[in-house]
Structure 1
Amino acid sequence: MDERTSLSIGDIVKATYKTGEYIGELTELSAPRGVVKILAVIKHPTQGDLHRMYEADVAFFHQRRALSYTEKALVPLNAIEPYTGSIPPYKESLRKALELEMEMLSRTEQWARLSLEQLELLKKDYAF
């Protein structure tokens, strides 16, 4: 049996909304969606143009804010699952999610820079 079929109003859930992940309370349930009141942030939303990931030269580089504390989001039921862990304070969870997203981007930037350096060396080795 799918856990999502057993969701009830008042349940604490993990919800993926656009590119962010949140802990919240299910306040309305009307298939194929549910309304989730945001209580904490797990993953900060991704920045930029989602249709052209990792491209900076786009018409509009989107800034995406995390959903606010107690903001309600209409979320597809397939993006909601029960949550059983503790609920951190919203501000603390937002700070942690933002720092994790920034750390991941920093590691990606370092990886890209080192990869480019190695590819330049290979280019010379390949004698193009």
Structure 2
Amino acid sequence: MITIGSVVKARYKTGSYIGKVKEERGKFFLVEILAVLKHPQQGDLHNPKQTEDVFFHERRALAHHEKANIQKTAVSLYEEDVPDYSDSLQTALEQLQQTLHNEPASPYQQLALANLASLKKDYFG
């Protein structure tokens, strides 16, 4: 059972995070982000992998200690050790880059990889 103070895995948009439940808000939990499991996909959430006639968003991972309202249905208990935020962010970013490198070349792949390269500079200097 998830209660205030529980460490959880939380899916938010196209990312996945480890966090701590701070409040219960009806159908949502307010979750403080502690680590990144999966970096968000780049581009338009409503038109995945599309580049034409859409606004191609740069999607950042939620920041360390950022709080997000996350639907209860997207939250589950997390019972493993919580990794360091910066290390987890770097691992998640590199996993997404590797996944994109393994896909056939496409305009989406090129734009997404460019966004991730820019984010990597921004995140880590």
Shorter-chain TM-score bucket reads 0.7 to 0.9
Whether the aligned pair in 2 keeps the contact of 1:19 and 1:44 (CA below 8 Å) is yes
- 1:60 is matched with 55
Structure 2 gaps, min length 5: 107-125
- 1:59 Cα deviation (Å)? 3.3
- 1:83 is matched with 78
Whether the aligned pair in 2 keeps the contact of 1:49 and 1:58 (CA below 8 Å) is no
Report % sequence identity: 43
- 1:29 is matched with 24
Whether the aligned pair in 1 keeps the contact of 2:35 and 2:85 (CA below 8 Å) is yes
More deviation in 23-32 or 49-58? Answer: 49-58
Which protein shows a greater Rg? 1
Q: Deviations over 1:42-65 (max 9, x none)?
A: 000010112222212233110000
- 1:40 is matched with 35
Structure 1 gaps, min length 5: 1-5, 113-128
Distance 1:37 1:77 in 2: 14
Higher helix proportion (structure 1 or 2): 1
Q: Which runs of 4+ in 1 moved over 2 A?
A: none
Q: What's the TM-score once normalised by structure 1's chain length?
A: 0.79
Q: What's the TM-score once normalised by structure 2's chain length?
A: 0.81
RMSD: 1.2
Q: Deviations over 1:5-29 (max 9, x none)?
A: x210000000001110000000001
Distance 2:53 2:41 in 1: 15
Does the alignment pair 1:15 with 2:6?
no
Paired residue type of 1:92: D
Does the alignment pair 1:49 with 2:51?
no
Distance 1:52 1:59 in 2: 7
